[in-house]
Amino acid sequence: MVEVEVAEANSARSSSGVLLGLFAVTCFSLTLPATRAAVPELGATTVGLGRAVIAAALATIVLVVRRERLPARKYWPGLAIVSLGVIVGFPICTSFAMQRLPASHAAVLVGLMPAATAVMAVLRAHERPPRIFWLGCAAGVVAVLIFAAVEGAGAPQPADALLLAAVTLGGLGYAEGGRLSREIGGWRVICWALVLSAPILLVPVVLAWPADATTVSPKAWLGLGYVSLVSMFAAFFAWYAALARGGVARIGQLQLIQPVLTLGWSALFLEETVHAITIAAALLVIATAALATRLGRPQTITASAPLPSEEG
């Protein structure tokens, strides 16, 4: 009887992880278009790092209201990795890339995120996936490079390298954040990562802040507001909780729908023309990422009974 109840609890927990993951991916799918809308007027540094400073202010309020204590020192290295990956690395790389590339182009390269997240989850869990897993990842990288070369008139552009770096760092931050979330709770992971990194980011953000903010259009402010309040804060509450409940690699597969959503948002809000080759490349990247992610699913990361730290 007890085993049945535990199985039902784990199933419900896993299902809630999927729902939370879908919500987070939908929020994340608007990140590139919002960044593209804000960067031309506010600059890459303001958008890439300013979002974290703004989100850190909200995180501070949450931690103070809940009277949270500083995490144990054993969690600090993990929080530093989360900060490097999703608070600094991914945002700043994509912000600089968005100065030169349309959001629809970037969506294709960011389509490698599920495979990158799975790779990082495997490495952090010390798994030994089959060779075909690495072949699937390699196929995705090749597909992206071919697309970048075609779009770049024969050679990938420097901004493409920034996007690949963003994917790598983002996958690292997702995997590490998912691992930590199982121990201290997803909302604590993102809140503490933001608060601990804010003092370092504040100086460059202040220096890069526009001298006359009144000349910035509402569109640019709206883009910054979205990536700060939603992409960098609210969406991560749901995302890390989803990774903790459903497993990093398994829930990471939900990111496969993100490029398609981003292409739609880019056409709708930025009026970008989405070419057939872009759609084809996105579908190819999604297919290879799905293969790599499924084959590389770590068996040690599974849904478990609720953790007091996550629920508290």
Helices 276-295, 258-269: inter-axial angle, 10-degree rounding = 150
The confidence band for 5, taking pLDDT boundaries of 50, 70 and 90, is: very low
The answer, yes or no, to whether residue 290 has pLDDT greater than 80, is no
Helix (H, G, I), strand (E, B) or coil at 150: helix
DSSP, res 128:
-
Q: Reply yes or no on whether the pLDDT at 222 is more than 50.
A: yes
User: What pLDDT band is residue 37 in, cutting at 50, 70 and 90?
Assistant: very high
Which of 174, 229, 284 minimizes the C-alpha distance to 38?
A: 229
* Length, in residues, of the chain: 312
To the nearest 10°, report the CA torsion of 137, 143, 144, 146: 140
Q: Give, in order, the Cα–Cα distances in Å from 115 to each of 110, 262, 296.
A: 10, 18, 9
Whole-angstrom Cα distance, residue 243 to residue 183?
12
Tokens standing for residue 70:
């500083």
Distance in angstroms (rounded) separating the CA atoms of residues 271 and 42: 20
Q: What is the pLDDT of residue 129?
A: 64
Q: What is the pLDDT of residue 73?
A: 95
Segment 132-189, tens digit of pLDDT: 777 777 787 787 777 877 776 556 678 989 999 999 999 999 999 988 998 999 999 9
Mean pLDDT of 21-32: 95
What is the average per-residue pLDDT within 47-68? 97
Amino acid letter at 124? R
Q: In whole angstroms, how far apart are CA 5 and each of 13, 15, 108, 251?
A: 12, 15, 42, 23
Q: What's the mean pLDDT in 236-257?
A: 85
Rounded average pLDDT over 48-70: 97
Beta-carbon contacts of 272 under 8 Å, excluding residues fewer than 6 positions away, are: 102, 103, 104, 266
* CA distances from residue 94 to 66, 171, 181, 302 in whole angstroms, order as listed: 33, 14, 25, 31
Percent of the chain with pLDDT over 70: 85
pLDDT reading at 233 higher than 80: yes
- The rounded distance, in Å, linking the Cα atoms of 224 and 56 is 14
Contact between 59 and 240 under an 8 Å Cβ cutoff? The reply is no
Number of H helices, E strands in the chain: 16, 0
Query: What is the pLDDT confidence band of residue 2, given thresholds at 50, 70 and 90?
Result: very low
Please report where in the chains the tokens 């400073």 appear, as a residue: 53
- Split at pLDDT 50, 70, 90, the class of 308 is very low
Q: Got the DSSP string for 270-312? A: S-----HHHHHHHHHHHHHHHHHHHHT--TT----SPPHHHH-
**Residue 293's pLDDT band (boundaries 50, 70, 90)?**
low
What one-character-per-residue DSSP string does 247-269 give?
Answer: -HHHHHGGGGGHHHHHHHHHHHH
Q: Is the pLDDT of residue 301 over 60?
A: no
Q: Are 228 and 49 within 8 A, CB to CB?
A: no
